[in-house]
Structure 1
Amino acid sequence: MQLSPEQCRAARGLLDWTQESLAARAGVSRSTVRDFERHRHALHRGTESLLIRTLQDAGIILLPADEHGPGVRIR
């Protein structure tokens, strides 16, 4: 599963988390989250895995892209 910047922002919105909150919970820097969400750089595979796992552990379901694009749900 790949995480898109839009999914990351949407997931944070569903959880009512700031960039700082996601970064702290995932063990990455806020600038990593900020720059990813602003399309400034792609994530390293390991960092992407940390973010995905953190979001999923909090109840986020990441939906793969279909004809409408990728999506996000909360359990």
Structure 2
Amino acid sequence: MVSPRQIRAARALLGWSQQELADKAIVSLNALTRLENGKVDSRISTLQAIEAALTKAGVEFLSAGQKGEGVRLLDPRA
């Protein structure tokens, strides 16, 4: 599952505001804000919706390994 840091980084790569991501993932802005700030353990369905919206926009999530977690933009035109 993606981490709050990865979500913030993915939004930055896309140039999206929290409101834009919330709209595209069909989740509440409040839920996204609390998730990104690490203030709550979100529902799995919320995380899945956010991850799906970012993946659809061309973001690839890199799992934590020896070099750490990360994100990259597969299509820079997104």
Fold conserved between structures, TM > 0.5: yes
Structure in which a larger fraction of residues adopt strand: 1
Paired position in structure 1 for 2:42: 43
Paired position in structure 1 for 2:30: 31
Paired position in structure 2 for 1:11: 10
Q: CA deviation at 1:3?
A: 1.0
SS in 1 for 2:64: strand
Q: CA deviation at 1:52?
A: 0.6
CA deviation map 1:48-71 (0-9, x unaligned): 110111000000000100123211
Paired position in structure 2 for 1:55: 54
Please, which runs of 5 or more residues in structure 2 have no aligned partner? none
Percent of residue pairs identical? 36
TM-score by length of 1: 0.94
Query: 4+ runs of 1 displaced by more than 6 Å?
Result: none
Supply the distance in 2 between the matched residues of 1:34 and 1:22 (Cα, whole angstroms).
10
Give the partner amino acid of 2:8.
R
Question: How big is the alpha-carbon RMSD for the aligned residues of Structure 1 and Structure 2?
Answer: 0.7
Give the partner amino acid of 2:19.
E
Q: Across the two proteins, how many residue pairs are aligned to each other?
A: 74
Please, which runs of 5 or more residues in structure 1 have no aligned partner? none
